[in-house]
Structure 1
Amino acid sequence: MTSAVPPAPGRELSSPPSDGISNLRFSNHSDHLLVSSWDKTVRLYDASANVLRGEFLHGGAVLDCCFHDDSSGFSASADHAVRRLVFNAGKEDILGKHDAPVRCVEYSYAAGQVITGSWDKTLKCWDPRGASGQDRTLVGTYPQPERVYSLSLVGNRLVVATAGRHVNIYDLRNMSQPEQRRESSLKYQTRCVRCYPNGTGYALSSVEGRVAMEFFDLSEASQAKKYAFKCHRKSEAGRDIVYPVNAIAFHPIYGTFATGGCDGFVNVWDGNNKKRLYQYSKYPTSIAALSFSRDGRLLAVGSSYTFEEGDKPHEPDAIFVRSVNEIEVKPKPKVYPNPPA
């Protein structure tokens, strides 16, 4: 664990959302940042220039967003709609609808499809190239055991985490049934799931201040490598105070990952060596979302109270963009002791 003094929280973006930040994502092609919010908007920023490039107003809280490319993106809303956003034209159209709030949206470059997960206990796949209009672009609907809380993609693999601690793993080339059905190895409600960039597994976080490291390969050797660890907790007056871990973001170059908790801290971890590499200075309130830029040079942090302690006065919602130093995210080489002479 490093003893360096943590740097300042980063540059705060102007024109932040006026209510809770539900997610934020960097583009795979630029330093553009897409931000969804409970204030019913999706905002597009140029994170490097600190400029708001566009804003879309929906009919309900926006619970997730993702890029298609630098000209368009998608959003998931509490008004049950899945929308396509055309940035340059400032236009949007409804791709389709669920029967309850849409919690998650992902775009699969491998399948060329938009994937959405809803509190109606279904997963839906959409072809965004089709004509606009409700359900015209629907490829398939796949029942889930409970409400969908988090999705993550790597290549053709899709991981779906739901209420009730269920985890379904799909191959996008054959969605007829899950490739694997699992139960979270954590005891409490899942908050976030994110696949490893190398495609070998996924990290899962929960409300109990823990993260589980899991592997897709069901062989005994691979399953022996899985583990869980405690994070985002502190001891006060002899009592362990535990904070939900809301966000996980993998570094695109080094495969290390950041976690964000309701304690207002962002930690960076080396999962392979089971070490914390860095802890940034405390942010004003809970960390609701995290995203590394495509080259890993920037980290966007959504500092936004997530109502884990009910309705109470809290710091304003803010988006910080920080420059990432290699020392914060690069795994440290293992040092082996010299054998005795």
Structure 2
Amino acid sequence: MSTLFGGGSTTNTASSSTQGDTSKDVDIKQPPEDSISDLAFSAQGDYLAVASWDKKVRIYEINSSGQSEGKALFEMGGPVLSCAWSKDGTKVVGGSTDKTAKILDLASGKQEQVAAHDDTIRCVKMIQVGGNDMVVTGSWDKKIRYWDLRQQVPVGQIECQERVYTMDTRDQLLVVGTAERHIHMINLANPDRIYKTIASPLKWQTRVVSCFTDATGFAVGSIEGRCAIQYVEDKDTGLNFSFKCHRQQDPTQRDVAKVYSVNAISFHPVHGTFSTAGSDGTFHFWDKDAKHRLKGYPEVGGSITATAFNTTGNIFAYAVSYDWSKGYSFNTTAQPCKIKLHPIIGEECKPRPGGKKR
């Protein structure tokens, strides 16, 4: 995609500073009609799945100029809080407040319920076991369940210590963040038991977890403008650290800053660098190995609620919509509701020279 979004130049001029440019960002056409809760790119092409509070999962196709076209959608019985693709890009699953997960087969158009819980399904992921697609669901009923698409009952279940708030998987690693700051790590080679549980290294409520590209660890974001880098194995604990982000200094008081929730963390599929995005309406790219911010971007006019890189890492999608932090009454038509596509140009997401080689 050398002509991505009309920005074929790979000049490093903008990269010489840490201020990023959003002038070439493109809007998704016909975005959801209510807050956007999740974004997920297919591993097989530039197809973007979007979960939203209007009870729908939409699938868009994005061409090399950044233009989008709606290709499919399905509706659920309540707001959809999470969505995910099958590895082969033929199926999309959504998890809803209606306590179910539903899957769409894109080739046939067939929709079917594939999972159920006793409370809201907050997170869905798709994995492969023995070459077969499986859905993993995390719920506010404090359970993780595994679903074989050929069966109507779960093939496995894990009891978590609290309600599931966030979940991510990479290779054999499944990480679950719950209420009360518990974080469970599961080795999918032994999916029915928790490999390790820790208290979040951050002092406030966990908002998001996201696995490293090499599955050796994960990043954690909290409601209090902090991010933590955490490795799975004890031998790597010396590499753990946390840092402040998504904060705005009060210009009138030197020691006072406004803090914002870190709503989304996404890892670049090629470089292993990562993004954070928050309720302050900004996103940033970071190099965890060099402990360095690569780029920071200006406010986009509303809270960023979800982010995703495409499979080649040259598109960064971010959703701008109400984050529900002030309750139902603030979800008005004045709130923005859009999805932007940011072309990754030049050195924006490349690790800092001299950092750890991947």
Short-chain TM bin = over 0.9
- 1:63 corresponds in structure 2 to 81
- Identical amino acids, percent of aligned pairs: 36
Letter in 1 for 2:297: Y
Bigger drift between 277-286 and 15-24 goes to: 277-286
SS of aligned partner of 1:224: helix
Secondary structure of the corresponding residue to residue 164 of structure 1: helix
1:50 aligns with 2:68: yes
Are residues 3 and 228 of structure 1, via their aligned partners in 2, closer, same or farther at CA, if it must alter by over 3 Å?
closer
Is the aligned partner of 1:199 residue 2:227? no
Between stretches 254-263 and 320-329, larger displacement belongs to 320-329
Number of the residue aligned with 2:45: 30
- Matching of residue 119 in structure 1 with residue 140 in structure 2: yes
Q: Which amino acid aligns with 1:330?
A: K
| 208-217 or 321-330, larger mean C-alpha shift | 321-330
Tell me the alpha carbon deviations over residues 242-286 of structure 1, each in whole angstroms, 9 at most, x when there is no partner.
000000000001000011100000100011111110112321200
Is residue 55 of structure 2 the alignment partner of residue 40 of structure 1? yes
Partner of 2:335: 315
Structure-2 change in CA distance of 1:5 and 1:245 (3 Å):
closer
Residues 52/174 of structure 1: CA separation in 2 closer, same or farther (3 Å cut): same
What corresponds to 1:105 in structure 2? 124
Note closer, same or farther for the CA distance 1:5–1:276 as it changes in structure 2 (3 Å cut): closer
Note if contact 2:18-2:296 (Cα within 8 Å) is conserved in structure 1.
no
**Which of 23-32 and 79-88 deviates more?**
79-88
Alignment of 1:130-209 (within 5 A): 130-131=150-151, 136-209=152-225
Matched, 1:280 2:297: yes
**Amino acid across the alignment from 2:146:** C
Output the CA distance in 1 between the equivalents of 2:127 and 2:261: 28
Structure 1 residue 211, shift from structure 2 partner:
0.3
Does the 8 A contact of 2:76 with 2:102 survive in 1? Answer: no
Superposed, 1:318-337 pairs within 5 Å as 318-334=338-354
Separation in structure 2 between the aligned mates of residue 6 and residue 279 of structure 1, nearest angstrom: 9
Shift, 1:116, TM fit:
0.5
Query: Map of 1:74-89 to 2, 5 A cutoff?
Result: 74-89=93-108
Flag structure 1 segments of 5+ consecutive residues without an equivalent.
Answer: 336-341
Aligned partner (choices 286, 308, 315) of residue 269 of structure 1 = 286
- Pairwise CA distance, 1:140: 1.1
Change (3 A) 1:176 1:141: closer
Counterpart position of 2:3: none
Superposition deviation, residue 315 in structure 1: 3.0
Contact 1:9 1:283 in 2 (8 A): no
| 1:87 to partner: Cα distance | 2.0
TM-score, scaled to structure 2 = 0.88
Report how far residue 200 of structure 1 moved. 1.2
Q: 2: CA distance between counterparts of 1:242 and 1:51? A: 36
Provide the secondary structure at the position in 2 that maps to 1:248: strand
Across the two proteins, how many residue pairs are aligned to each other? 328
Letter matched to residue 50 of structure 1: S
The corresponding residue for 2:263 is 246
CA contact (8 A) 1:9 1:280 kept: no
Determine the C-alpha separation between the residues in 2 that align with 1:17 and 1:137: 32
Once residues 59 and 330 of structure 1 are traced to their aligned partners in structure 2, the CA distance between those partners, rounded to angstroms, is: 42
Please report the RMSD computed on the Cα atoms of aligned residues, expressed in angstroms: 1.6
Q: Deviations over 1:139-174 (max 9, x none)?
A: 112111000011111211111110000011111121
2:303 alignment partner AA: S
Does the C-alpha gap of structure 1 residues 62 and 4 become closer, same or farther in structure 2, counting only changes over 3 Å? Answer: closer
For the pair 1:16 / 2:35, whether they are aligned, the reply is: no
Alpha carbons of 1:291 and 1:110: their partners in 2 closer, same or farther (altered >3 Å)? farther
Quote the Cα distance in structure 1 between the aligned partners of 2:249 and 2:158.
Answer: 43
Q: Do the aligned partners of 1:284 and 1:315 also contact (CA within 8 Å) in 2?
A: no
TM-score for the superposition, normalised by structure 1? 0.92
Cα displacement string for residues 199-218 of structure 1 (whole angstroms, at most 9, x for unaligned residues): 21100000000000000111
